[in-house]
A and B are shown apart, each in its own frame.
Chain A
Amino acid sequence: MIKGFKPALAAAAVSLALFSQGGFAAEEQFFPLIDYRVGPYGSNGQAFYGGFIDYLNYVNLKEKGVNGVMMTWEECETEYNNAKGVECYERLKGKAAKSAGPIHTMSTGISYALIDKSAQDKLPLAMMGYGRTDAVDGSVFPYAFPLVTTYQMQASAIVKFIKDKNGGNLAGKKIVYLYHDSAYGKEAIIAMEAEASLNKFQLVQIPVAHPGNEQGAQWLKIRQEKPDYVVFWGWGVMNQTALKAAQKVGYPRDKMIGSWWTGSEEDVVPAGDAAKGYMAATWNVAGKQVPVIADIEKVVYGAGKGNLQDTAKIGTVLYNRGVSAAVLSVEAIRKGQEKYGKGKALNGEQMRWALENLNITEARLKQVGATNLLPEIKTSCDNHEGSGKVKVQQWDGAKWVPVSDWIEGNKALIHPLFQASAKQYAKEKGITPRDCSKEK
C-alpha cells in the first residue's frame, strides 16, 4: 500500500504542476449566461436556457467540445430586470474577456442596456428574435447580432402568409395590429405600415397597456371593426387574455396570427380551448421529431446531466429555441476556429468575426441534426440578421403544428428601414460606420 502510494503521489504532483502551467489544461469556451428562471417570465427562461445549456452539454458529451475546446458557462439571474441584467453583465464580463461565447439575454430591455457596453468591451451580443433590430446593419453595430430574423421581417412575413391565403391580393382587406404598448410592440408598426401601403390593405392599430390582463375595450373595438385578420404582438399574460377575449367576442382564432413571443406552449395552454386554431410565427419549430432534440434527451438526460427538472419542456417551442440559439453559437465557434486555430478558444473579437461570417446551410443543419429546426443562416458585415425567415404554426389544442414552409419577409422593403435607422443612430452617437466592402 505504502509502496504504491509514493509514485502515485509523485505523479499527482507532476500533473498538478503541468496543469497549473496550462500544459494539460483543456481550452474552454466561456458563455456568460445572463438569464432568468424566476420572476414574471421565469417559465419562459427555464425552457429557453434549459435548451441552451442542454445543447452545450450535448456538445461536450458527444464530441468532447469543439475540437477539444469544452463549453463552459456561468449563469446570473436577472429576473427579466434591466438593472439586474447590467449588474450580471458587469459581474461576468471579466471572465468573458479571455474567451467569450455570444451573450444571450432573451430580453429586449437588457439588450438595449448592454448594446453600447458590449461594443466597448468587444463582447458580441446576440439578440435572436428580440432586441435592437436596426443592428442588422453591422457597419454601425459591429458587436450586436439580431440573428435569424427581426420583428419587422417577421411582420412582413406574416403579411406575406396572409396574402398567400388570399390569392396573392390584400387590396381592400382590413387587418388589425393589436400590440403591447411598448418598444417591443411598436417595433413592427413601421413594417406593417409599409406593407399596408404596398399591398393596399387597411391597417387599424390598437395598443394594449402593460401588462395586458384586461382587453375588454380593445376586443369590442375589434368586433366593431370586423377585420379580416388580427396580427397580434403580445407578451406574457397579454397573450392568454387576448385569446380569451377573442373567444368572448366571438372572433375566430384561426384569423389571429401572432408574433413568436405569442407562440409558445406557455402562451396557449393557460387559455385552454380558447387557443384552439390560433396561429403564430416562429423561427424555430417545436417537437421532439427534430433529430438533435431527440438525441439530446438520449445523450444528456441519459447521462443524468440534463438541465431541466421538468423534462416535459423538452421539445417545446422555447426549449427548441434555446437549442437553436446554442446551435448557432456553437457553429460560430466552429467557424471561428477554422480561422483562428482549431482547438483554441475564441475571444470576443474573434467571436464577432465568426458571427459575422456564418454560413449554415441546409446540409450543415442536417449534419448537426437540426433539419427544419431553424432556417438557413448566412451573415455578413451588412447583414447581421442572416435569414429573415419564419414559419407559421397553428395550435391544435395539444401541440403546435407548422402550417407553412419558411417564409421570408420582404427584404427589399424592410432592410432599407434598418439602414436608415442605423444611419441615424450613428449620427447621434458620432459613430463612423465600417466599410463593409473591406470586411471579410
Chain B
Amino acid sequence: MNFFFEVLIGGLLSGVMYALVALGFVMIYKASGVFNFAQGAMVYLAALSVVGCMEKGAPLWLAIILAFVIMTLFGIATEKFVLRKLVNQPPIALFMATIGLAFFIEGVAPMIFGSEPRALDLGIVDEPIESIMENWNMVISKFDLVAAGVAAVLVATLALFFQYTRVGRALRAVADDHQAALSIGIPLQHIWAIVWGVAGFVALVAGMMWGARNGVQFALTFTALKALPVLILGGFTSVPGAIVGGLIIGASEKLAEIYIPPVMQDLFGGNFGGIEGWFPYVLALLFLLVRPEGLFGEKHIDRV
C-alpha cells in the first residue's frame, strides 16, 4: 500500500509538470480560439534563451529577465507578422500558422543559442526529502514540490488575471468572436500581443522547470505531447482545468505503468510496459466520449 501511495504522489507531482506546459496552450486558446501548435517549441525557445544568456555571462536572474524580454518580443512579433493578417480567418488558418511557427522556432533557436544539450541549475536539487524517506519510506522529490508550488502560484495569478482584469475580460471576448470584439472597440492586435507575451512567460516558467529537470535540449519540444491529453481532460479554456487534468493524467499514467503490465503479462505472456506514452491519450479519448468539452471547458452552443 505504501508503494501505491508513493506512485500516486509521484504521479500527481509529475502531472503538475505537464500542467505547466498545458497552461500555455490554454492561454492562447482562451484569447484566440486557436490551438497553438508552437507551444512546445516556445518552451524550448524560452529555456534556450535562459541558458544562452547565461553562457554569454549573465547571472541566472538577469538571464531570466532577458529571456522574458525575448519571449515578449517574440509574442509581439508573432502578432505583427503572423496573426495580424489572419484576423477573421477560419481557426484552421491560424492553427496552420502556428505549425509553421513551431518549425521556425525549432530551426532558428538552436542557430542562435546552439543545439548542445545543457544543464540548467536553478539551485533546487532533485533529491528525495530525507525526513519523508526515513519516516514513511517514500520518495518525494524536493524539486517536484517546488514545481508544484510554482504551478500553484502561476495558476492563481492567471485565474485572477482572466477573471478580474479588464484585459482578461477582453481576452475572453476576443476568443468568443474576433469581429464582435473589434466592433465594440476591443483592440484585437493589442490583446493578442499581450496574450502571446503571457503565453511566452508561461513557456518560460515551464521551460525552466523542465530544463532544470532533464536538461535544456531539443527534446523540450516533446513536452507538448504530455500536455495534449491534459488539455482534452481539463478543457482547452480552463486554467484550473489544466491543473486538474495534469494531476489526473500524471497519477493515472504512473499507476497504469506500474500495475497494468503485470496483468497483461499474466494474460498474454511477453513483455509489456512503456505504456505511459499512449495510456493518457486513451484515457483522454474515453473522456471525450463522455464530456467532449473537458472537465472545466466551456460548453459551446451554436444557434441553428
Residues of A within 8 A of B (CB): 38-43, 46, 181, 189, 205-211, 213-214, 216-218, 220-221, 223-224, 236-237, 240-241, 244, 247-250, 266-267, 269-272, 274, 310
Contacts and interface: CB of A to CB of B under 8 A. Distances in A.
Contacts of B177: none
Interface string B90-108: 0000000000000000010
B271 to A, nearest CB: 5
Nearest to B273: A207
Contacts of B114: 310
B275 interface: yes
B214 A43 contact: no
Interface of B: 3, 6-7, 10-11, 13-14, 17, 107, 110, 114-119, 121, 126-128, 133, 139, 141, 143, 210, 213-219, 221-223, 226, 253-254, 257-258, 271, 273-278
A221 B114 CA distance: 36
A38 B119 contact: no
B230 to A, nearest CB: 13
For the residues of A in contact with B, the DSSP-based class is helix
A355 to B, nearest CB: 32
B271 A207 contact: yes
A221 B126 CA distance: 18
Contacts of B139: 220, 223, 248-250
22 contacts: A38-B107, A43-B115, A46-B115, A181-B274, A189-B271, A207-B273, A208-B274, A209-B274, A209-B275, A209-B276, A213-B210, A214-B276, A237-B117, A240-B217, A244-B213, A249-B128, A250-B133, A250-B139, A266-B116, A270-B118, A270-B119, A310-B116
Given A217-B254, A220-B139, A270-B217, 7 more contacts: A43-B115, A217-B276, A218-B257, A220-B258, A240-B117, A247-B126, A247-B127
Cβ-closest 3 pairs across A and B: A270-B215, A209-B277, A237-B219
A231 B114 CA distance: 31
A236 B226 CA distance: 17
Contacts of A247: 126-127
B273 A206 contact: yes
A270 B276 contact: no
Residue among A220, A221, A266, A274 having the largest count of chain B Cβ atoms under 10 Å: A220
Contacts of A250: 127-128, 133, 139
Given A42-B110, A46-B115, A213 B222 contact: yes
Contacts of A213: 210, 214, 219, 222-223, 226
Contacts of B277: 181, 209-210
B117 A43 contact: yes
Nearest to B117: A270
A204 B216 CA distance: 31
Contacts of A236: 217, 219
Nearest to B258: A217
Contacts of B13: 216
A237 B215 contact: yes
A269 B10 contact: no
